[in-house]
């Protein structure tokens, strides 16, 4: 009964201290240079990055992407990070609600509304878990925590590395179609570190999906996490595939090219600094998402630690806007930028 919850705590341990960001993997954001403006003609306080997401107003275009739930420890992570998101006007997602679907007594570990009454809140469920739950079961998970939307996560790479993982990935679009009919623009489809490319994004949008988090390669690798838990063949396959995926910079730039401006795009996967947030916004993201850095800051320093880490990121983001002479995300996108190296190859191929 406790298998899902136990796995969750093992995942948290590995993510807190393990080598879950393989060296050599890259977002390719180092191939993007924003161009310095020596005469910004603005004050830092002129930077206005307010936006809307899931019908709510955000002060910053940032999402704490879904991580956890199901255990005491996971509950503390959710409450601490949701509180930080509420205070600073970011969006927040809980992790996979599978554990609470299996045992309703775990609902409390996902319940953040007491500390984050107005935050733009995303529930979370895996694509093939949603098959088992159906539309009504998925809606109950959202409603039980007062979520504004539901994140549907895709993780074929992780599943194939997990000994007990799924092996059958048929009928995915059919599941998405049913969910989008029920949830409309409350549904977000996300990857978990291997990236959503332009072809998949286009098909999702054709089905009616209006929010996509590309969650590309370059940050937390779930293939690596499962490799660290596995042995034998599965561990070997994990090692072989921990650099598999579409780098975040390539994913966001090509997906933006392939879908209309009405589609809300989140860029996540390896975003670690305010300057990197600015770069993904310039490449066409509406929001940037982060998981591991805020989780680690919370683990070592609680709410204060997470706020300190976020403070540096927000300062870097504002600085990047000032130094490109941009008051807003719209202005930032009009500024020149230089794209070099491997990212150019990806942009040419996709
Ligand atoms: C995750 N991620 C994740 N995603 C999801 O959709 N459901 C989940 O339950 C989890 N669980 C989870 C736990 C922990 C501890 C981490 C660090 C991450 C994936 C996450 O939302 C994100 O897509 C990737 O981690 C890439 O972002 P970062 O970590 O590189 O910023």
Please give the distance, rounded to the nearest whole angstrom, from the Cα atom of residue 67 to the centre of ligand 1: 5
Q: Is pTM, for the whole model, over 0.80?
A: yes
Look at ligand 1, atom 14, and give the residue with the nearest C-alpha.
67
DSSP letters spanning 242-290: TT-S-BHHHHHHHHHHHS-TTSEEEE-SS--SHHHHHHHHHTT-SEEEE
- Ligand 1 midpoint to CA 221 (Å): 9
CA of 68 relative to ligand 1 center, distance in Å: 8
Instruction: Specify the ligand 1 atom closest to the Cα of 66.
Output: 21
Atom 12 of ligand 1 has which residue's CA nearest to it?
Answer: 67
Taking 50 as the pLDDT cut, the residues of the chain under it are none
Decide whether any atom of ligand 1 lies within 6 Å of the 279 Cβ: no
Compute, in angstroms, the gap from residue 268 CA to the centroid of ligand 1: 9
51: its two tokens: 């936006």
Q: Give the CA dihedral 1, 154, 118, 304, nearest 10 degrees.
A: 80
Q: Which helix (H) or strand (E) holds 329?
A: helix 329-334
**Of 11, 64, 76, 192, best ligand 1 pocket probe by most atoms within 8 Å of the beta carbon:** 192
Res 133: pLDDT: 96
Asked if residue 292 has its Cβ within 6 Å of ligand 1, the reply is yes
The proportion of the chain whose per-residue pLDDT surpasses 90, expressed as a percent, equals 97
Non-local (6+) Cβ contacts of 232 within 8 A are none
| pLDDT tens track for 306-345 | 999 999 999 999 999 999 999 999 999 999 999 999 999 9
How close is the Cα of 349 to the center of ligand 1, in Å? 27
- pLDDT at position 2, please? 77
pLDDT score recorded for residue 7: 85
Q: What is the pLDDT of residues 169-222, one digit of tens each?
A: 999 999 999 999 999 999 999 999 999 999 999 999 999 999 999 999 999 999
């Amino acid at each position: 009964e406790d298998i899902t919850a136990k796995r969750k705590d093992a995942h948290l341990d590995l993510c807190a201290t393990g080598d879950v960001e393989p060296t050599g993997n890259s977002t390719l954001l180092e191939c993007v240079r924003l161009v310095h403006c020596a005469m910004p003609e603005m004050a830092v306080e002129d930077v206005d990055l307010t936006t809307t997401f899931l019908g709510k107003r955000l002060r910053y275009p940032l999402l704490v992407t879904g991580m956890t739930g199901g255990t005491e420890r996971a509950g503390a992570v959710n409450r601490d990070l949701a509180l930080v998101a509420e205070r600073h006007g970011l969006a927040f997602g809980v992790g996979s609600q599978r554990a609470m679907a299996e045992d309703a007594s775990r609902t409390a570990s996902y319940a953040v509304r007491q500390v984050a009454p107005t935050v733009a809140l995303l529930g979370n469920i895996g694509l093939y878990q949603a098959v088992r739950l159906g539309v009504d079961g998925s809606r109950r998970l959202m409603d039980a925590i007062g979520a504004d939307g539901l994140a549907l996560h895709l993780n074929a790479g992780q599943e194939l590395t997990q000994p007990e993982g799924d092996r059958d990935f048929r009928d995915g679009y059919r599941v998405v179609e049913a969910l989008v009919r029920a949830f409309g623009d409350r549904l977000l489809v996300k990857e978990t570190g291997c990236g959503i490319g332009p072809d998949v994004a286009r098909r999702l949008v054709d089905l009616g999906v209006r929010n996509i988090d590309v969650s590309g390669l370059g940050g937390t690798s779930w293939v690596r996490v499962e490799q660290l838990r596995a042995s034998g063949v599965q561990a070997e396959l994990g090692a072989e595939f921990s650099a598999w995926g579409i780098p975040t910079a390539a994913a966001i730039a090509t997906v933006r090219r392939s879908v209309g401006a009405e589609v809300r795009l989140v860029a996540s996967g390896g975003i670690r600094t305010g300057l990197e947030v600015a770069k993904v916004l310039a490449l066409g993201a509406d929001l940037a998402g982060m998981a591991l850095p805020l989780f680690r800051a919370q683990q070592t320093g609680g709410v204060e630690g997470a706020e300190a880490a976020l403070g540096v990121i927000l300062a870097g983001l504002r600085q990047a806007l000032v130094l490109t002479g941009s008051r807003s995300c719209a202005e930032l996108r009009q500024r020149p930028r230089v794209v070099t190296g491997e990212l150019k190859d990806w942009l040419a191929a996709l």
